[in-house]
Amino acid sequence: MPDLNLDLLDNALDSLNEALSRYQDGRDGNDKSYKFCIQHLSHFFELILKYYVTRSHPLLIYKNPFAKHLNDESHTIGLFEAVNFLKNEGHEITERFEKDLSWLKKLRNGIEHHKFSMDTNEVEETIGRLMSAIVEFDESHESVDISCHIQSEQYDLFHELANTYEGRLKKAEELVEERLTGCDPKDGNCAVYHCYECDHDTMAPNPNSDTGYRCTFCSNEESDDIEMDCGICGQSWPLWQMKQMDLDDTGHSEYYCPYCLHDPEYRNDD
């Protein structure tokens, strides 16, 4: 019986890897691949949820574990019976997750009966939600640590879809690169600073930010490391060294460097 258990998990993870690989194909322009992705993914969800059920008892895979004889022919539970069991057992399965599972199952059935239409945006969005829901469930349940079983070719895609910490960070780092492309230091802010809020090097130039910078990971806009031009000499200094003052009482304050403010630590001529 424990063998059956492991087979379930192995098959589930194989299907997931296959689904991810098809997903990548679909995204690369081969629309048809989404069809296969849906089939593999739906297989994955059915098997992984059944696997979670069997963690409570291996015989629970069967519709009737009390039957006189159990063999290969015996009926096993379906996807929603697994969902119900896990809920009855006290695990949280959100309404959204259940709805997405129904969506997946319906689409899969449509594909098998050759009558379906697919909105690829909806497919990408729903698959993302399903992936993050299962990862969350896995982490709060008896974790099999799904990410450990993802093939290296599909690793980035998995983290992106499941919106894991790794996935979000990678996206933030890509955004930093985008922000720097075509950025000319002569036109102003062109640096990347460390964000002390989230502790990543992801404070990138952003024209919509008051400080000229915004963290692409956590949206923080403040850092004392950001360099500003001094209102008198025009040299760049990090904010922590400058003072914001309204020198001429114009009701408009500017940043001034310690040198121009005659800070004795920076000049000893007075």
Spatial contact of 100 and 133, defined as CB atoms under 8 Å apart: yes
* Smallest gap from residue 251 Cβ to Zn ion (A): 21
**13: Cβ–Cβ under 8 A, 6 or more apart, which residues?**
44, 146, 149
* Smallest gap from residue 129 Cβ to Zn ion (A): 25
In this structure, the dihedral spanned by the alpha carbons of residues 198, 201, 207 and 210, taken in order and rounded to 10 degrees, is: 50
Spatial contact of 258 and 234, defined as CB atoms under 8 Å apart: no
What span, in angstroms and rounded, lies between the C-alpha atoms of 223 and 196? 7
* Smallest gap from residue 253 Cβ to Zn ion (A): 15
* Smallest gap from residue 215 Cβ to Zn ion (A): 3
- Residue placing its CB nearer to Zn ion in the complex, 116 or 255: 255
- Residue placing its CB nearer to Zn ion in the complex, 70 or 175: 175
Beta-strand relationship, 243-245 and 236-238: unpaired
Residues that bind Zn ion (CB under 5 A): 195, 197-198, 215, 217-218, 220, 230, 232-233, 257, 260
- Residue placing its CB nearer to Zn ion in the complex, 169 or 190: 169
**228: Cβ–Cβ under 8 A, 6 or more apart, which residues?**
236, 237, 239, 242, 255
Q: What is the DSSP string of 216-231?
A: TTT-----TT-EEE-T
* Smallest gap from residue 21 Cβ to Zn ion (A): 33
- Residue placing its CB nearer to Zn ion in the complex, 107 or 215: 215
How many residues comprise the chain?
270
- Residue placing its CB nearer to Zn ion in the complex, 80 or 196: 196
The arrangement of strands across the sheet holding 193-195 comes to 193-195, 200-205, 213-215
* Smallest gap from residue 224 Cβ to Zn ion (A): 14
Task: Give me 148's structure tokens.
Answer: 């450990």
- Residue placing its CB nearer to Zn ion in the complex, 25 or 229: 229
* Smallest gap from residue 172 Cβ to Zn ion (A): 8
- Residue placing its CB nearer to Zn ion in the complex, 156 or 201: 201
HSE-CB of 11 using CA atoms within 13 angstroms: 15
